[in-house]
Structure 1
Amino acid sequence: MDLLFYLFSSMTLLSGVMVIQARNPVHSVLFLILVFFNAAGLLVLLGLDFFAMIFLVVYVGAIAVLFLFVVMMLNIKIAEINEKRLRYLPIGGVLGLLFLFEILLIVDNDLIPLLFYNTENFLEFKDINFINWSENLQTVTNIQAIGNLVYTYYFYFFLMSSIILLIAMIGAIVLTMQKGIGIKRQQVFLQNTRDFAKTIRKIS
């Protein structure tokens, strides 16, 4: 578990840095998707499988794909990004230092009162016998409960949402396609339906 935690954490930090440092906007969005995947892995390690699934569905399935389509449709030039990078460097540095300062304040134990508890009162209740009823009940995980609802009661709504997302994806691909003028293309249907008896001539 510790190895997976350090692996997902390091990959999240590395991918976050690459989101900022990548010169190609498409590559930045792909690294952002990798950040979301690693963050979902951290949520799974914490036992929050429902939040991990929502994280993937919302951020990767909707927001990141939307960013990718917008970047592809805008056709941003890399040279313009490199020229404007130094312009926003002071503001980004100030915001980064402010964010780092807030993280240091949160990590400080003096600002987290939940970490402090009265050990004397805690030791008084250590000899009390109690029954953990949650272990005696037949429970299901969050993923199983959501799967039972989505694929049974809400099957039609789930199918309709999938079709809507598919239509949106196809529409975005069609809008971003650029057909060149003067390029010879094959017409497969006309080639297959061609009458070779009328096209092939025998010269004697």
Structure 2
Amino acid sequence: MNVTTGLFYVFAAVLLFAAFRVITARNPVHAALYLVLTFFQAAMIWMLLKAEFLSITLVLVYVGAVMVLFLFVVMMMDINVENLRVGFWKHFPLAAVVGVVIALEMAAVLMGGFRVVDDPAALAAATAAEPSNAKALGKLLFTQYIVQLEVAAAILLVAMIAAIALTLRARKDSKYVSPGEQVRVKSVDRMTVLKMDATKSAPVVETDDTEQKA
């Protein structure tokens, strides 16, 4: 067993453990962090498969953007964990059967792609002759698909400018406070101290007997 195979087993073992902890952790924040670890291990496995672009994309998009959003929502919302776990063991047998069937189907599909190479030298030579995945994809994007890339970039730029314009537009029903004015504010400009007499008890009013009889 070479170094690549050993790293694959290590990454796969950590990935399976982290994926198991995602669905078994009681704390939603811990589950989201385990999901981040799962994405990192999947990215490392893709790196071993020489899919550098997919590996970097997984880290940047899912770990750097999607999971940050998940953590922000989970930590800001008051989630009742006990309500989320209601009926877990009731539906666990069906979920386990479905998971096993999916795993067997994926194994049947993927096992056909594994081929044992008898000559390690030939495998090393073929691997060294292959260009970098990210380099080949970059050449393809900036040569054959340069027009489509420029159109997509222009659409994203227009969408970004439109989002900024919608955010900064003036609305009559919204109240806007300048952050600069809030920073420069002083207590003497916003608060007035008034001198008032101490609290006194109310005087007791004595009534006549005639008024009480009436």
Q: What are structure 1's unaligned runs of at least 5 residues?
A: 117-131, 165-187, 195-204
Task: Choose which of 90, 93, 96 in structure 2 pairs with 1:90.
Answer: 93
Task: Choose which of 45, 50, 58 in structure 2 pairs with 1:47.
Answer: 50
Q: Secondary structure at the match of 2:87?
A: helix
* 1:80/1:115 CA distance change after superposition, 3 Å: same
User: Displacement, 1:24?
Assistant: 0.9
Q: Secondary structure at the match of 1:87?
A: helix
Q: Distance in 1 between matches of 2:114 and 2:45?
A: 22
* 1:37/1:104 CA distance change after superposition, 3 Å: closer
Q: Distance in 2 between matches of 1:101 and 1:74?
A: 37
Q: Which moved more, 1:49-58 or 1:69-78?
A: 69-78
User: Displacement, 1:143?
Assistant: 6.0
Q: Distance in 2 between matches of 1:45 and 1:193?
A: 61
* 1:143/1:65 CA distance change after superposition, 3 Å: farther
Q: Distance in 1 between matches of 2:9 and 2:50?
A: 16
Q: CA RMSD in A?
A: 4.8
* 1:36/1:67 CA distance change after superposition, 3 Å: same
Would you say the 8 A contact 1:33–1:60 is kept in 2? yes
User: Displacement, 1:10?
Assistant: 1.1
Q: Secondary structure at the match of 1:23?
A: coil
Q: Distance in 1 between matches of 2:17 and 2:88?
A: 20
Q: Distance in 2 between matches of 1:86 and 1:46?
A: 37
Task: Choose which of 142, 164, 171 in structure 1 pairs with 2:134.
Answer: 142
* Match runs of 1:1-204 below 5 Å: 1-2=3-4, 3-106=6-109, 112=112, 115=115, 142=134
Would you say the 8 A contact 2:19–2:35 is kept in 1? yes
Q: Distance in 1 between matches of 2:92 and 2:105?
A: 20
Q: Distance in 1 between matches of 2:110 and 2:52?
A: 25
Would you say the 8 A contact 2:12–2:41 is kept in 1? yes
Name the aligned partner's letter for residue 142 of structure 1. Answer: A
Larger radius of gyration: 2
Q: Distance in 1 between matches of 2:9 and 2:96?
A: 27
* 1:143/1:68 CA distance change after superposition, 3 Å: farther
Instruction: Report the count of equivalent residues.
Output: 157
Name the aligned partner's letter for residue 47 of structure 2. Answer: V
Q: What are structure 2's unaligned runs of at least 5 residues?
A: 117-125, 143-149, 164-182, 189-214
Q: TM-score, normalised by structure 2?
A: 0.52
Would you say the 8 A contact 1:26–1:72 is kept in 2? yes
